[in-house]
Structure 1
Amino acid sequence: MARLVDVSPEARPYYRALADGVRTAVMDGQIPVRVRMPAERHLAEALQVSRNTVTAAYDLLRERGFLESRQGSGSYTALPDPAVSSDSPWLAAYDDGLIQLHAAAPAAPRAMREAMLEAVDDVPRYGMGNGYHPLGLPLLRERIAAYYTARGVATRPEQILVTTGSQSAINIVLGTLVGVGDAVVVESPTYPHAIDAARLRGAKLASVGVSAEGWRLDLVSGAMRQSSARLAYLMPDFQNPTGALMDDPARAAVTEAAKATGTLLLVDEAWAELELEEVPGTTPMAAFGHDGQVITIGSASKLWWGGLRIGWVRATAALARRMALHRASKDIASPVLEQLVVARLFDRLEETRAERRRNLRASRDALVAALREHLPEWEFAVPRGGGTLWIRLDTGSAVTLAEAAACHGVRLAPGPWFGLEGTLEGYLRLPYTQPPQVLREAVARIAEARHRGRVGSVPLPDTLSPTV
């Protein structure tokens, strides 16, 4: 163990460096999972440090979920449960004073205030009822159905279920359609909450790689076939985090492959409206399959504002009613006022598209320029839409870098958040949803953290923050 972790005697604080060394060795497969660790006293002797130092390192590993102790039988290496470990990215608050680059969420657009004032004026019309609309307000469902129809997919309001955000939509769809032991295909990297939702259902996860260049269609179809997948969760529109855009021939091919394997497609379009440059026109994936095969998720969070917490599902009318019954045990219905705000924002769709394109493009270009100036060794493709860069580091661990960056005032989203256990250690997601000046400052701090390598020099918060 002392040889495997290879901690420099000058590392400070030593216990944290020792814990990081053990964690890295476990994640890299050098130390297998469920292997008994040396007794604290014996490892302290081998490393020529105090037993208290090793005890502190073991305690930190337990907090992070990489060590389990059993009374009378010692401590064993483990992989953390993403839902409960202290390394979990969704347990801490946002008020730690750091530049928040772990979350890809833009601020509200200018149209928000006017839409809210109009929505408040609309509320009295709904106040005579009890306020519960399990399928969503008819007004908003009509707006969403018209939105899909205008994009080339004829849709009736009865096919729409309004949810409390896209994460709620994912949970409702999986909770309705996926059972324990069912296989679910996810992209790698992918949206972390989709992985969590599938695990919550007891699903078996199979991953298929995606890069900024796109999807390997043979691998997508092979994953669905070999896993006998019940459902595949895909983001064909400016995929989070790679920014890849799937063209129409690929959409048709994936849909046909899913039909052949009996796989349902859950298509997340949260980023679909954030085109920053002219790109070849694409058709919603629902146009390539029947409504019972392709289920679509949308969200107000990226185009408008995450604080609204409004999303939706497009499916068959029968499935929409079935999902409404399933969600009744969770949150019954989404808030009326926020639904009215989103309905008003649909009337300002073109205005918001133009504002988002202008602002996000400026922020993307500033982030790209700052990275090329301060960190030219990092590799990434510049996406034509969406809100994130997916970066391949030249050396080292993204998790270690995130800890160092936190010491310099920046919270990052390391690659392992976006994949299954033990993968994507050499990648980092950087969003460009903040103003250019904030991104330039953040990159300068990240570069300083990387070059100084000050991991552990300042105590870190016990938890990491949620990602979107």
Structure 2
Amino acid sequence: MQHSIPPGGRVSGFRLAKLLGEWRRRGARHGSADLAAAVRMLVLDGRLPAGTRLPAEREMAEALPVSRTMVSAALDQLRAEGLVASRRGAGTWISLPSGGALVGGADTPLVGSSMVDFARAAPPAIPGLLPAFDAVRARLPEQLVDHGYYEHGVPELRRRIAQRFEARGLPTSPDQILVTSGAQHALALVLRMLTGPGDRVLVEQPSYPNALDAIKAMSAIPVPVAMTDTGWDLPGIAAALRQAAPRMAYVVPDFHNPTAHRMDAETRAGLADLARRARTPLVVDETIVELDLDGDPLDGPPPVASYADDLVVTLGSASKSHWAGLRIGWIRASTEVVHRLVSSRTALDLGSAVLDQMVLAELLTEPESGLADRRRHLAGQRDVLMAGLREHLPQWRFDRPGGGLSVWCELDAPVSTRIAVVAQNHGMRLAPGARFGAHGGFERWLRLPFVLPPDVLREAVRRLGLVAAAVSGGGSVPHQEVEVPVA
């Protein structure tokens, strides 16, 4: 397998030649077009991320080997498409067409009017996505002769998802899997089945903002239980189960969003025991379980369903591990619960996109081939972000996350919303801490994702330091809510 370049890094001529492989297909007359097409494929496939510095034309020509004129013509074509950008004295780097993500230049990786999106903890597509589409395309005709509706999901994908649970030590049959259009869709289906207006739902405090929004959209009432500095407060959960009698509990045990805590096996067993005693269904969000940056996800604590299979509904998604644009999630539950969900689903939709399901099934054929690369890059970006925070914001406190996509920072004053407001004038979009509370609060906290290229992270943290200094200086900042999409 050819590994991708770390986002924001520099690719040498030798490395670029190795990534390109046998790129020349149609002879010398079309050499520049073939070279441009080969580089374009690497960009779209994620192996040359936005911000990657390209070698000089002379170095590239010597490495391939081709004429410098051919290299220049290929780069001109890519510049016209917006996939490559250059500046005198700064070199050439991978860009994205207008409306794409941020790119890196020599002096500043923040180009034009683009904003650093620190609100969405969602990485770009995993390397290998485009080849998966190509592999699936050959098998697509067999689907086109049928109606294309799979209320449960494409059988091959359900089988692959079940196998991944099996690899983590949880026996699972494809009949226990329901494919959805993302984890948010999965949660909406479960909430619709288990709750109604006025019902209480136990949640962690803080919690994932979109989950809180989904609960409130059902006119249900979130009942928050504060997390401790080290994780989950089982006595607090037990008290909430007794006193509030919630219809269900929503928890994120693996690299919790936003704190990045991970629930150990003993706590999982204790939580399952509490739920069993109260007969309260546990809805367990495993969206980030594959992003163990310090170890192997298969060696982590057992899934919560291992301790109370009859009471646990597990949610999963490809959005964080592979690409949010696939819009594929899933539910693992008992076959009885899956049948109930399918029966109620038809009032909302008739199934998820077949092509996207086939692509994810292809990627899950050898899941570690792409996920190992994803975890390695994220670990590097995590370290870049933490180094920047120590340099520019030493007064802020944070723990090193063992996995996930973000750092949960404790500020030196309750100014989270003020910082989010001022940051917009410095080219950054932040989700204030209040977004992560069931009823607001968390003005001393900010979640900072590390899904952006290293150069962007370094510059963004530098700017964040300027913002924090301006806010602490007592300048006038208008009071307002910060409405930004959060992922």
Q: TM-score range by the shorter chain?
A: 0.7 to 0.9
Pairs within 5 Å for 1:35-74: none
Q: What is the alpha-carbon distance in structure 1 between the residues aligned to residue 304 and residue 143 of structure 2?
A: 35
Following TM superposition, where does structure 1 have runs of at least 4 consecutive aligned residues deviating by more than 4 angstroms? 93-96, 454-463
Q: What is the alpha-carbon distance in structure 1 between the residues aligned to residue 482 and residue 293 of structure 2?
A: 34
Identity of aligned residues (%): 42
Pairs within 5 Å for 1:249-398: 249-278=266-295, 281-290=300-309, 292-398=310-416
Q: What is the alpha-carbon distance in structure 1 between the residues aligned to residue 201 and residue 331 of structure 2?
A: 18
Deviation at 1:456, TM superposition (A): 9.7
Deviations 1:442-462 (A, max 9, x none): 101111122123999999999
Q: What is the alpha-carbon distance in structure 2 between the residues aligned to residue 163 and residue 460 of structure 1?
A: 39
Please tell me the residue identity of whatever aligns with 1:384.
G
Confirm or deny: 8 A CA contact 2:286 2:316 kept in the other structure. Answer: yes
Q: Gapped runs of 5+ residues in structure 2?
A: 1-99, 103-112
Confirm or deny: 8 A CA contact 2:202 2:246 kept in the other structure. Answer: yes
Match of 2:140, SS state, is: helix
Pairs within 5 Å for 1:78-157: 97-157=114-174
Match of 2:158, SS state, is: helix
Q: What is residue 44 of structure 2 aligned with on the other side?
A: none
Specify whether residues 98 and 455 from structure 1 end up closer, same or farther in structure 2 by C-alpha distance, changes over 3 A only: farther
Q: How many residues align?
A: 375
Specify whether residues 221 and 463 from structure 1 end up closer, same or farther in structure 2 by C-alpha distance, changes over 3 A only: closer
Match of 2:390, SS state, is: helix
Match of 1:363, SS state, is: helix
Q: What is the alpha-carbon distance in structure 2 between the residues aligned to residue 177 and residue 304 of structure 1?
A: 29
Confirm or deny: 8 A CA contact 2:420 2:482 kept in the other structure. Answer: no
Specify whether residues 459 and 256 from structure 1 end up closer, same or farther in structure 2 by C-alpha distance, changes over 3 A only: closer
Match of 1:205, SS state, is: strand
Please tell me the residue identity of whatever aligns with 2:362.
R
Deviation at 1:185, TM superposition (A): 0.3
Q: What is the alpha-carbon distance in structure 2 between the residues aligned to residue 190 and residue 301 of structure 1?
A: 18
Specify whether residues 426 and 139 from structure 1 end up closer, same or farther in structure 2 by C-alpha distance, changes over 3 A only: same
Q: What is residue 6 of structure 1 aligned with on the other side?
A: none
Deviations 1:325-380 (A, max 9, x none): 22222222100000001101111311122112210110000000000000000011
Please tell me the residue identity of whatever aligns with 1:160.
I
Confirm or deny: 8 A CA contact 1:416 1:424 kept in the other structure. Answer: yes
Deviation at 1:211, TM superposition (A): 4.6
Q: TM-score, normalised by structure 2?
A: 0.74
Confirm or deny: 8 A CA contact 1:137 1:336 kept in the other structure. Answer: yes
Confirm or deny: 8 A CA contact 1:404 1:456 kept in the other structure. Answer: no
Q: What is the alpha-carbon distance in structure 2 between the residues aligned to residue 375 and residue 182 of structure 1?
A: 42
Q: TM-score, normalised by structure 1?
A: 0.77
RMSD, aligned α-carbons: 2.3
Match of 1:304, SS state, is: helix
Specify whether residues 463 and 418 from structure 1 end up closer, same or farther in structure 2 by C-alpha distance, changes over 3 A only: closer
The answer as to 2:432 corresponding to 1:414 is yes
Deviations 1:174-201 (A, max 9, x none): 0111122221001111111111111122
Confirm or deny: 8 A CA contact 2:417 2:482 kept in the other structure. Answer: no
Please tell me the residue identity of whatever aligns with 1:216.
D
Deviations 1:157-215 (A, max 9, x none): 11111000000000010011112222100111111111111112221221011255211
Confirm or deny: 8 A CA contact 1:303 1:352 kept in the other structure. Answer: no
Q: What is the alpha-carbon distance in structure 2 between the residues aligned to residue 254 and residue 405 of structure 1?
A: 39
Confirm or deny: 8 A CA contact 2:430 2:484 kept in the other structure. Answer: no
Q: What is the alpha-carbon distance in structure 1 between the residues aligned to residue 141 and residue 219 of structure 2?
A: 43
Confirm or deny: 8 A CA contact 1:94 1:465 kept in the other structure. Answer: no
Alignment partner for residue 241 of structure 1, among 236, 252, 258? 258
Q: What is residue 445 of structure 2 aligned with on the other side?
A: 427
